[in-house]
């Protein structure tokens, strides 16, 4: 029996698309921004707050959750949703990126990757199959295959052989997930660094294996923005229209406009939350750092056009005070605001596509927003 189609493409405007992704824990309107909850918590916020600001889906990370709290706890409690009290969709990254960025000692073989924990130096091994099995225990609505994420820049030769390995791992991942009659979706990851020939080959062969969605991995890892945009424009041609496209680890407000325009449906990025904790707020006129002296006596909200709890109730002066005093409420309020900004932005982008007004709205946005 063929699975019901998980993605519905509702509208296109140029390459920009609006769609609905159906998951076991509800529907996700795309384009969407997904808040990152690496360790099973979107840092500083409660699930109730995430619901309040209309987060449709959040991320967890396989590498981190495998190390803490560990598979045993997540098996015992009956999955990640229950553990963290989140009833909406969850996507878990495979941990490929984290193994390569956090673990100093790692050994890649055909079989998988051996790595040391960044917490206690203990040795662990991820195979593509094991990563699927872990995510099955999590009960993630969207699982990601294990991939090798290459740094930037990287030689063509290495990028090619790495991409080939990621393809073989993708096939093994697909096989391990077959026949379970599961409602969990599985996304493939396209690699190939900044080489268009490799991105084309990776896209075509990943699509040939067949996944519920396709991610672009290995971007926003240090290359110039324009190069990333160019790679996306090119790779998009080889992606099937009727599957969601997920640009991993991206991005900024600018990136959302630029990449939706190039056909991307899903985004995740730690910057809105991480920057918030450093006192950097995203506003409709650009970024501001709340620690700057000018805000000590500024009784306006962070962003006068924002309706979040932070902007409705507190001034820049109060936030500035909280940050100067290292008060946790400051981290919370800035995080809540930044995520509200990103989620509202995705909503605004969706509306602009639906009303065939994308280009004008993009211009309106950048007329106010200082990069």
Beta bridge partners of 287: 282
Nearer CB in complex with a copy of itself: 43/130: 43
Whether 83 contacts 40, CB under 8 Å = yes
Between 80 and 282, CB nearer to a copy of itself: 80
Determine which helix (DSSP H) or strand (DSSP E) holds 155, and give its type and residue range: none
Binding site for a copy of itself (CB under 8 A): 39-41, 43-48, 68-69, 72-73, 76-77, 83-85, 296-297, 299, 309, 313-315, 317-318, 320-322, 324-325, 327-329, 331-333
Is residue 303 among the annotated active site residues? Answer: no
Nearest CA-CA partner of 239 in 221, 255, 216: 216
Q: Which of 141, 147, 255, 268 is catalytic?
A: 268
* Burial class of residue 106, CB neighbours in 10 A (0-12, 13-18, 19+): middle
82 vs 363, beta carbon nearer a copy of itself: 82
CB of 73 to a copy of itself, least distance (A): 6
Question: Which C-beta is closer to a copy of itself: that of 105 or that of 325?
Answer: 325
Report the nearest approach of a copy of itself to the CB of residue 39 (Å).
Answer: 5
Rounded to an integer, what distance in angstroms lies between the CA atom of residue 345 and that of residue 340?
8
Alpha helix segments (H runs only) across 90-143: 96-102, 128-138
What crossing angle do the helices spanning 253-261 and 328-354 adopt, rounded to 10°?
Answer: 20
Residue among 97, 229, 205 at smallest CA distance from 150: 97
Least CB distance to a copy of itself at residue 347 (A): 23
Q: How far is the CB of 67 from a copy of itself (least distance, A)?
A: 10
Instruction: Give the span between the Cα atoms of 147 and 97, in whole angstroms.
Output: 8
Contact 215, 173 (CB under 8 A): no
- Rank residues 184 and 320 by Cβ distance to a copy of itself and give the closer one: 320
141 given a catalytic annotation: no
Catalytic residues: 93, 268
């Amino acid at each position: 029996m063929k699975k019901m189609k998980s993605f519905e493409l509702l509208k296109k405007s140029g390459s920009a698309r609006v769609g609905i992704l159906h998951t076991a824990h509800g529907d996700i309107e795309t384009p969407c921004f997904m808040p990152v909850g690496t360790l099973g918590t979107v840092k500083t916020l409660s699930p109730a707050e995430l619901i309040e600001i209309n987060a449709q889906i959040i991320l967890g990370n396989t590498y981190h959750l495998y190390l803490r709290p560990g598979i045993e706890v997540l098996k015992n409690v009956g999955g990640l949703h229950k553990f963290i009290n989140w009833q909406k969709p969850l996507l878990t990254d495979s941990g490929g990126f984290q193994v390569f960025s956090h673990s100093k000692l790692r050994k890649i073989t055909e079989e998988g990757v051996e790595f040391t924990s960044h917490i206690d130096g203990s040795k662990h091994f991820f195979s593509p199959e094991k990563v699927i099995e872990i995510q099955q225990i999590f009960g993630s609505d969207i699982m990601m295959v294990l991939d090798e994420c290459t740094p930037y820049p990287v030689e063509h030769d290495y990028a090619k052989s790495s991409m080939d390995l990621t393809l073989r791992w993708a096939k093994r991942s697909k096989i391990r997930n077959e026949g379970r009659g599961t409602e969990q979706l599985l996304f493939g990851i396209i690699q190939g660094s900044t080489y268009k020939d490799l991105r084309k080959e990776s896209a075509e062969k990943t699509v040939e294996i067949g996944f519920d969605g396709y991610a672009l991995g290995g971007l926003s890892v240090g290359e110039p923005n324009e190069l990333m945009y160019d790679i996306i424009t090119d790779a998009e041609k080889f992606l099937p229209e009727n599957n969601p496209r997920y640009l991993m680890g991206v991005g900024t407000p600018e990136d959302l406009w630029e990449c939706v325009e190039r056909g991307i449906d899903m985004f995740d990025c730690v910057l809105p939350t991480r920057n918030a904790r450093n006192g950097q707020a995203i506003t409709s006129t650009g970024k501001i750092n709340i620690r700057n002296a000018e805000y000590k006596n500024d009784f306006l909200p962070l962003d006068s056009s924002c309706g979040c709890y932070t902007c409705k109730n507190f001034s820049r002066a109060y936030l500035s005070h909280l940050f100067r005093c290292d008060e946790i409420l400051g981290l919370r309020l800035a995080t809540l605001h930044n995520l509200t900004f990103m989620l509202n932005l995705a909503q605004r982008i969706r509306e602009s596509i639906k009303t065939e007004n994308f280009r004008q709205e993009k211009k309106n946005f950048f007329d106010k927003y200082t990069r």
